[in-house]
Amino acid sequence: MTSRARLLVLGAIACVLLASTSSVANPGGNGDADRDYTCGGSCHGDPGLSMTSDGTVSLSVDSITFSGTATAVHVTASGMNLSGKRLIGVFLLGSLNGNGDQPSDHGWSIIQDPNGGTSNYVETVVPQSGSVTMTWVLRAPSQTGQQHLYASMHHGSDPNPDGLASLGVSQASSIDVRPVPENYPGLEEDWTAPENRVTGDHAPVIVRTTNTDQLVVLWKLEGEWATHTADVESLGGSKWAVNLPATIGETRMQYQITTHNGSFAVSQPWLTVGTTPPAFEATLLGARLQALASASIVFGFMVSLQARLSPRDGEGDDATPEVEARMPLPEPEPAKDDYWSRMVSHAEHPGWLWDPVEEEWVADPQNPLQGGGA
């Protein structure tokens, strides 16, 4: 390698390194996950790698809840100067310590996040209105007392010459977690809502409850106002089968569970279930047929390639002379003009000629026998 080529390679490597470190923003997002407020700078939540957002983020939650029961937390972000992709990431936090500040670190558990999962950090695209509201459904800590929740957002901006993420933090929301009343109907502590159902799936959603003798479920398609009542069947042992209608495509359905204990009823927060395409199911016969089809395609390709590359008329070497040279030569047949020349006469047998090829006597046409027989 010449010195000029070495310099070009080193220059290219330096450009790549500089390009990777000159910007700490990630325009494509990081995906939903459980993340701390700073998350090590990998998601730009680190204040040292961010600038202050020009938007606002606020958190709304009931000020009183009961230990181990479900409650809804609404986070609204608005007024941001966004990048072209209009992507925003939102944290739900139990503190702003920078580490150990996820809600689970403070006794909360996530039944469902705004995207249907169970993450404290989610990403979404902000509509043209410039405002978005995201809802988490949490189960309150078992420990009673005052708890605090925070929301944080980060997003890109345009223009953004330094490639930094814009960071905004909400005010603290205080929640008074009180002891759960006796026989309070609610959802079982370790139950989480299903994130998705398969397209066309009619299987019921299984719900587990505590202190509940009746379950009522309302459902509606996302974005609609009208609600419908789902069929609910008791499976015994505080288990219920909720029959929600099957969905197709990218349809998302919302449903609200109301738990009853006698005349006392508790309406749980609205939950969301999405729709996913059916999983691919393979069989041995199908795999063999697919392998046969692939082999046929390869065979056909090779045949067509051979036909395309084979010599056409007038092209290539003619091997006929070589083949003919290797074949044994046939015995020459005697010419008809040489027939009489090969005859041998004998004085002892006048009128006859000897044929050495056929090994027989032949009458001499030039000297016919006198008087008949030999």
pLDDT (tens digit per residue) in 100-142: 889 999 999 999 999 989 999 999 999 999 999 999 999 999 9
Task: Summarize the confidence of residues 150-162 as an average pLDDT.
Answer: 87
**Is residue 249 over pLDDT 80?**
yes
SS (H, E, C) the chain: CCHHHHHHHHHHHHHHHHHHHCCCCCCCCCCCECCCCCHHHCCCCCHHHEEECCCEEEEEECCEEECCCEEEEEEEEECCCCCCCCEEEEEEECCCCCCCCCHHHHCCEEEECCCCCCCCEEEEECCCCCEEEEEEEEECCCCCEEEEEEEEEEECCCCCCCCCEEEEECCCEEEEEECCCCCCCEECCCCCCCCEEECCCCCCEEEEEECCCEEEEEEEECCCCCCEECEEEEEECCEEEEECCCCCCCCCEEEEEEEEECCEEEEEEEEEEEEECCCCCCCHHHHHHHHHHHHHHHHHHHHHHHHHHCCCCCCCCCCHHHHHHHCCCCCCCCCHHHCHHHCEECCCCCCEEEECCCCEEEECCCCCCCCCCC
The values of phi and psi at residue 108, to 5°, are -80, 150
Burial class (CB in 10 A: 0-12, 13-18, 19+), 104: middle
pLDDT of residue 361: 86
More confident site: 315 or 227: 227
Task: Summarize the confidence of residues 226-255 as an average pLDDT.
Answer: 93
**Ranges 16-20, 136-140, 209-213, 321-325: which has the least confidence:** 16-20
Task: Summarize the confidence of residues 133-154 as an average pLDDT.
Answer: 94
Confidence of residue 47 (pLDDT cuts 50, 70, 90): low
pLDDT of residue 269: 94
The values of phi and psi at residue 327, to 5°, are -80, 140
More confident site: 248 or 25: 248
Task: Summarize the confidence of residues 68-73 as an average pLDDT.
Answer: 94
**Is residue 233 over pLDDT 90?**
yes
pLDDT of residue 23: 38
pLDDT of residue 22: 38
pLDDT digits (tens, 9 = 90+) for 284-316: 777 778 888 888 888 777 777 777 766 666 555
Task: Summarize the confidence of residues 8-19 as an average pLDDT.
Answer: 48
pLDDT of residue 1: 52
Name the CATH architecture for the domain at 181-277. Answer: Sandwich (2.60)
pLDDT of residue 374: 45
More confident site: 29 or 48: 29
- The overall average pLDDT reported for the chain is 82
pLDDT of residue 157: 86
CATH 2.60.40.3780 location in the chain: 181-277
Q: Quote the CA–CA distance of 45 and 166 in Å, as a whole number.
A: 9
Record: fold of 25-180: Immunoglobulin-like (2.60.40)
In sequence order, what are the residues at sequence separation of 6 or more whose Cβ sits closer than 8 angstroms to the Cβ of residue 355? Answer: 342, 343, 361, 362
pLDDT of residue 11: 54
Residue at 93: amino acid letter: L
pLDDT of residue 169: 92
The CA dihedral of 8, 13, 18, 19, to the nearest 10 degrees, is 100
In sequence order, what are the residues at sequence separation of 6 or more whose Cβ sits closer than 8 angstroms to the Cβ of residue 318? Answer: none
Task: Summarize the confidence of residues 320-333 as an average pLDDT.
Answer: 62
**Is residue 224 over pLDDT 70?**
yes
**Is residue 336 over pLDDT 90?**
no
Task: Summarize the confidence of residues 191-214 as an average pLDDT.
Answer: 91
- C-beta separation of 83 from 158 below 8 A: yes
The values of phi and psi at residue 74, to 5°, are -110, 130
In sequence order, what are the residues at sequence separation of 6 or more whose Cβ sits closer than 8 angstroms to the Cβ of residue 76? Answer: 57, 58, 60, 131, 132, 133, 134
**pTM for the whole structure:** 0.64
CATH 2.60.40.10 location in the chain: 25-180
pLDDT of residue 218: 96
pLDDT of residue 19: 45
